[in-house]
Structure 1
Amino acid sequence: MLTSVMAFIGAAFLIAMVPGPSTAVILRRAVVNGRRNGMATVLGNECGVVLWGLAAAFGLSALLLASQLAYDAMRISGAAVLVWMGARAVWQARRAGAPEAEPAGVAAAVSHGRAYRQGLVTSFANPKAGVFAVSFLPQFVPQGAPVLPTLVAFSVIWAVIDLVWYLPLVWLAGRARDAFRRRSVRRRMEQISGAVLVALGLRLALEP
């Protein structure tokens, strides 16, 4: 069991380092609205990770592998969410450039609850997380170990590892926030992050 856990931790760290929609959303929220909002987004994302892991443990996410229709429906829905979030960021950047926009250095307030929900939705918007959970987690269950409790434990470990990875990223993004207090710089940040989310959504929608 110890060997399996250590192998899983190493693999999960490598996978956490791969940037994706969650990374883009978390960094954007931390830079634009500060570390607390960034951490609320991380917590939402990790709750989504745990739920994906539990779905794999109870066999629910296996439906994404068994049914092409279910996977495509989830994929298109997730792509629509990412495109909507990206388009909204681009629109906010456009509004920030208007003469009647808020003074320089003032970002629109976002509640921690909204940041949390955004992280949770972003995690759910990626059907690859479900496919990953149902195909990846069981590989590390030792022979003879109770499958359900072990998969639940691995799901929690997976979320903790993600949390450990995102903590320094959010801290660094918070430190960089001062550089984005100027309205022109923050506007450019919104444009770039919005374009990235739109691109990720379109890629998810168009991939075979």
Structure 2
Amino acid sequence: MTTFAIAALLLIMMPGPDQVLVTRNALAGGRRGGLLTMVGGALGLTVHAGTAAVGLSALLLASATAFTALKIVGVAYLVWLGVQTMRAARHTGSATEEDAEPIHAVTWTAYLRQGFLSNALNPKVALFFVTFLPQFLPADTTSPRGQALLLSAVFASLYVAWFGCYALLVDRFGRWLRRPSVRARIERVTGIVLVTFALRLATATH
């Protein structure tokens, strides 16, 4: 369990779409935006964890058509988010210093939805739960499904802990990070990174 927790935490800490989205939304919506995005991401993980436990993820990865369909939707979603973020950078750059505060106009469901879809539509997350997680199942276990769900719960808990702290950290330094000139640069880079992740996902095979 300890080995799995360490390996899982290292994977969670690696830069990816989750980190980009939490950063973006913590700057846009403050602590609430970042934490709700994290909760959405955790819910997206539970979709793949649950389906992996009952064997549906394996069927998804075995079907080239299903895998490709999910990948196309995921790529389109990340590209859309990236383009929207880069477009928002144009308006941010022309704002004044008095505007360097969180924008709470976005509904809480939007932050949840973005985090959820980012993971739920990512076939690489399904691949993780089907290939990485089983390596840590005890060979002599009498309940592999129960053990898989337990490890999935550990992974989700570490995800919540890491990105929860990360969102609070971004919000803590938000006053400086939300300065129009700084935030515009961050949004441009964020948009480019999201599109880059989309391109990487587009080339993924199963």
| TM-score, normalization by structure 2 | 0.90
Q: 2:154 corresponds to which residue?
A: 157
Letter in 2 for 1:25: L
Task: Report if aligned partners of 2:27, 2:178 keep a CA contact under 8 Å in 1.
Answer: no
Structure 1 pair 106–71 and aligned structure 2 pair: CA distance change class (3 A): same
Q: How many residues align?
A: 203
Taking only aligned residues, the RMSD between alpha carbons, in angstroms, comes to 2.0
Q: 2:28 corresponds to which residue?
A: 32
Distance in 2 of aligned mates of 1:45 and 1:96: 26
Letter in 2 for 1:47: L
Task: Report if aligned partners of 1:32, 1:186 keep a CA contact under 8 Å in 2.
Answer: no
Distance in 1 of aligned mates of 2:36 and 2:133: 26
* Aligned match for 1:61, one of 48, 57, 62: 57
Which structure 2 residues correspond to residues 1-208 of structure 1 after superposition, within 5 A?
Answer: 5-97=1-93, 104-109=99-104, 110-142=106-138, 143-208=140-205
Task: Report if aligned partners of 1:104, 1:183 keep a CA contact under 8 Å in 2.
Answer: yes
3-state SS of the aligned residue for 2:56? coil
Distance in 1 of aligned mates of 2:94 and 2:32: 28
Q: Which runs of 5+ in 1 are unaligned?
A: none
Deviation at 1:205, TM superposition (A): 1.3
Identity of aligned residues (%): 37
- 1:139-184 deviation per Cα after TM superposition (whole angstroms, max 9, x unaligned): 2222133012221121111100111221221121111210133222
Deviation at 1:87, TM superposition (A): 0.3
Letter in 2 for 1:105: A
Distance in 1 of aligned mates of 2:61 and 2:151: 20
| TM-score, normalization by structure 1 | 0.89
